[in-house]
Structure 1
Amino acid sequence: MALGVWSPSLIDVVLFVIAAVVVWKLERRRRRGWATGRLPPGSEGLPVVGETLQLIAAYKSENPEPFIDERVRRHGRLFTTHVFGERTVFSADPEFNRMVLGAEDRTVEGSYPSSLSTLLGTHSLVVMKGARHKRMHSLTLARLTSPTAIREAKLLLHIDRLVRRTLDSWASSSLVLLLDEAKKITFELTVKQLVSYDQRKWIESLRREYLLLINGFFSIPFPSFLSFTTYGRALKARRKVEEALKEVIRKRKLEKATTRFDVDVNESQNNKKKKDMLEELLEGEAEGMTDEAVVDFLLSLLVAGYETTSTIMTLAVKFLTDHPRALAQLREEQEGIRKKKKDEEAALDWDEYKSMPFTQCVINETLRVVNIIGGVFRRAKTELHFKGYTIPMGCKVFLSFRAVHLDNEYFDDARTFDPWRWQKNAAAQQVGGPTVYTPFGGGSRLCPGYELARVVISVFLHYLVTRFNWEEAEKDRLVFFPTTRTLKSYPINVRRREEEEGA
């Protein structure tokens, strides 16, 4: 009995040790092949694991910055380390970051941990490369997230209604878990954009599985039969999400086939506007795409639209709470917009959204301090040469946007929340431009949803500050790993402003 219980564990240990030795030997062989170039200085830590444990330990602490700070101090803004099983050149140099971001598909390509690639799928926007990625990236931007799409597809109206409906539900409870509420908004909005599905129970059921899927992104990719691990649970959740989306695809195809049969003579039917991304795919881009490929693509957009925007919404409120002067100025701006409306119940329009300059300063600063995209991985397709260093073909590089955004050389008192700094140099810091400010990445992989994210956050802040007062119900801990700086739930006590003023 004892042997039967223990032998699988012993086998696992032996296999792990053998695999570690093989990987270490292969890595040593590859290093010898790289010896001709002069890599940036650094330390690769322990065999096989390198400095991965130090990186994870830092990002599970209250202050993860020292992992990069200490190495920049010792080696400079470009240094070599060894994380997640590979030698990696880390960059805290905005000039190098711009060079690499602009070289996508020529001298570098996207490269992400296998756990993330497997969970998102080989046809996801994150994993796509080359011409295919450019085409699907452009489609996403044009169809869902460009200013034109937001205005003409009545998306702003839908955002307004969704935010107000969510905030109206707070009337029955003074305690609000803000991050959870923000995630409900962004998830429902993204599902609506992708598949026009608005059944609340179905959406919430999908969201629960999706949360398990996200937890597996940066976990250890154990074999799938180990279903009790974080990665195993994520794989199981991925299958459930895939099944749910495939059922939507099946029903949509059936509807389209029926519609074509019934109204084939109606020419206007062929010219009607596509209402969501799935419709766009089924009528054009999805020709030759399997249902599995369509699911992968939709899933990657669901990831992009859900986690990031809700985190920024929550942390913007956190920073405003901690900085009353900023909150007062933002509230004054939003009250001015509200008072100018002929009908206070009318939805915000595009002109009103564009008349929120200080609100945009708050969003800019939240993005800079939070670093929702802390950095990106790339792999060199050819030798990269920079300031006397040679980064060999096949080497992985990590472009740290966080390190640049929090560097005092580029931003005065960089680790302090100061939205007024954007009133001084907003023109010089254009998203996606040749600057040191890259909250949404850059190059051909610039996040296509950057304008949509700003719209959602702006609408949310408008109704929050004009309708409610609040204070923290309890202190919440900042969490930095595995994705970015966020809060566990950020509980706040809310009170309607008109009730307080009336009292």
Structure 2
Amino acid sequence: MDIIFGIFSTTTIYLFLFLSTLLYYHFSKRHHKKHKLTPNLPPGSMGWPYIGETLLLYSKDPNTFFSDKQKRYGDVFKTHILGCPCVMLASPEAARFVLVTNADLFKPTYPKSKEKMIGPSALFFHQGEYHHLVRKLVQSSLSPVAIRRLIPGIEDIAKSMLDSWASREVINTFQAMKKFSFEVGILAIFGHLDKQYKEELKKNYSIVDKGYNSFPTNLPGTPYHKALMARKKLSQILEEIIAERKEKKLLENDLLGHLLNFKNDKGETLNDEQIADNIIGVLFAAQDTTASALTWILKYLHDDPKLLEGVKAEQMEIHLSNEKESRGLTWTQTRNMPLTYKVILESLRMSSIVSFTFREAVVDIEYNGYLIPKGWKVMPLFRNIHHNPEFFNEPQNFDPRRFEVAPKPNTYLPFGTGAHSCPGNELAKLEMLILIHHLVNKLRWEVVGPRDMVAHSPFPVPYNGLPSRFWKEPKKEVQPWKEPEKEELCH
């Protein structure tokens, strides 16, 4: 009996071990499969604890930092900068994935200090219905149909600015262009604004602008504290302008008019704070980017005398026609400046003023076999796409004629793409065309100092704002421009 019991016990033990092994194998295989199905993080380095690779980013040109990473890891890579784990995306397909086809999975994200400075109700801090409604208002007030009426006003601003430059004194081109783009912004937002209001807005906006990229320490005397105080003053000034408009029941066709006249299906309107935040947001979005683009255009034209002569010939033909008929620029003429327009497009590609954009993953997302964890920042790298030889031949060369053929889809993104693309891009291009028209017809200029060094503040601008001298163009007969061979045009 003991022998039989011993055999039974031994058999039971072996059977138990056998079944346990089978179960272990089954569950470990399932776990292994599940583990294999979980995508890995993209390749890359996260740098030091807490600070990540932020110091490395700021110790070199940010564009070099990102392009070196792309060469090493490919079009999708991870890093840790500005206190955030990030996934960088350097392909057209990835940019479209984040900004267009799956835009609802990636929310716009900005530091709280920036939101406070501009105003939390500004449209580019939002998604969903509120963003859609406000964007529609801004876009309709800055559409091609709406901005045609601004041409005479922009011309007056351009002529006045150029006359003030024509003294042969060295001026900071970028700062001069900021004044120009600010004046155009005021015109688009308010129409013809009372001089006192304009001066108060200019003074306080300048303080906010200086403190926007400063270290966010809210201590008295710091640039950030001064900027916050000036931001409150801006709100007060805008409240006065809004109250005056409401009292007089003015139905202007400018941006402020569109914001004031808005009423949704439920009869709800925008409050004064929402209107003020969006006005300041539009000013911020328009000023530095347009000013930087114009500064680069002057640099590229200055560096290529043959190209400059071609632009002059194109613009002189329009000028002589208008002089004969005693009229200003027309909308049709601004649509028929092919060489000048290609110069603008190529300048935006070369300089890539908005080099990247910030988004944040709202859920865990898989892209191209890699995991993008919830809460991580996601940055489509526009500059890397613009400077990829796969999409733009010899991308380091300034060649406007490359735009005789339309770029491949999602490879040219100077104004972003998707629901958060720049709603004022048509106005920006119009003011560039108008300024170039009057600049090349009225003035000549010489760049003083280094031309190939770049500063980041935070947009890329030529070193020291491209110091230049301007003087009046002597009158002479301009010969029709003959397009040179490609190697002559490119430098």
| TM-score bracket relative to the smaller structure | 0.7 to 0.9
For the pair 1:72 / 2:66, whether they are aligned, the reply is no
Q: 1:79–1:89: 8 Å Cα contact kept in structure 2?
A: yes
Q: Which residue of 2 aligns with 1:255?
A: 248
Specify which of 43, 52, 55 is matched with residue 54 of structure 2: 52
**Deviation at residue 398 of structure 1 after TM alignment:** 0.7
Q: Which residue of 2 aligns with 1:140?
A: 138
Q: 2:137–2:259: 8 Å Cα contact kept in structure 1?
A: no
Q: 2:454–2:460: 8 Å Cα contact kept in structure 1?
A: no
TM-score (normalised: structure 1) = 0.81
Q: Which residue of 1 aligns with 2:230?
A: 237
Q: Map 1:384-399 to 2 at 5 A.
A: 384-399=365-380
Distance in 2 of aligned mates of 1:483 and 1:82: 21
Specify which of 472, 477, 488 is matched with residue 496 of structure 1: 472
In structure 2, relative to structure 1, the CA distance for the partners of 1:371 and 1:101 (3 Å cut) is same
Q: Which residue of 2 aligns with 1:160?
A: 155
Give the AA of the match of 1:414: P
Q: Map 1:408-447 to 2 at 5 A.
A: 408-423=389-404, 425=405, 427-428=406-407, 434-447=409-422
Give the AA of the match of 1:94: P
TM-score (normalised: structure 2) = 0.83
**Deviation at residue 214 of structure 1 after TM alignment:** 2.8
Q: 1:331–1:466: 8 Å Cα contact kept in structure 2?
A: yes
Q: 1:308–1:372: 8 Å Cα contact kept in structure 2?
A: yes
Specify which of 313, 317, 337 is matched with residue 356 of structure 1: 337
Report the 3-state secondary structure (helix = DSSP H, G, I; strand = E; otherwise coil) of the residue aligned with 2:52. coil
How large is the RMSD of aligned CA atoms in angstroms? 2.4
Distance in 1 of aligned mates of 2:237 and 2:153: 24
Give the AA of the match of 2:89: S
Distance in 2 of aligned mates of 1:95 and 1:357: 29
Q: Which residue of 2 aligns with 1:308?
A: 289
**Deviation at residue 487 of structure 1 after TM alignment:** 4.7
Specify which of 40, 53, 71 is matched with residue 38 of structure 1: 40
Q: 2:169–2:469: 8 Å Cα contact kept in structure 1?
A: yes
Report the 3-state secondary structure (helix = DSSP H, G, I; strand = E; otherwise coil) of the residue aligned with 2:48. coil
Q: Which residue of 2 aligns with 1:379?
A: 360
Deviations 1:266-294 (A, max 9, x none): xxxxxxx5332222222225944332222
**Deviation at residue 239 of structure 1 after TM alignment:** 1.8
Specify which of 296, 300, 320 is matched with residue 339 of structure 1: 320
Q: 1:179–1:487: 8 Å Cα contact kept in structure 2?
A: no
Q: 2:153–2:187: 8 Å Cα contact kept in structure 1?
A: no
Number of equivalent positions: 438
Deviations 1:196-233 (A, max 9, x none): 353446434433432332344444333x2x13333223
Distance in 2 of aligned mates of 1:135 and 1:488: 40
Give the AA of the match of 2:124: V
Distance in 1 of aligned mates of 2:466 and 2:312: 21
**Deviation at residue 499 of structure 1 after TM alignment:** 5.7
Specify which of 146, 149, 154 is matched with residue 149 of structure 1: 146
Gaps of 5+ in 2: 1-36, 478-491
Give the AA of the match of 1:461: I
Q: 1:334–1:465: 8 Å Cα contact kept in structure 2?
A: yes
In structure 2, relative to structure 1, the CA distance for the partners of 1:170 and 1:198 (3 Å cut) is farther
In terms of mean alpha carbon deviation, does 284-293 or 158-167 score higher? 284-293
Specify which of 449, 458, 472 is matched with residue 474 of structure 1: 449
**Deviation at residue 401 of structure 1 after TM alignment:** 0.2
Distance in 2 of aligned mates of 1:121 and 1:104: 26
For the pair 1:178 / 2:173, whether they are aligned, the reply is yes
Q: 2:311–2:340: 8 Å Cα contact kept in structure 1?
A: yes
Specify which of 73, 96, 99 is matched with residue 98 of structure 1: 96
Gaps of 5+ in 1: 1-34, 260-272
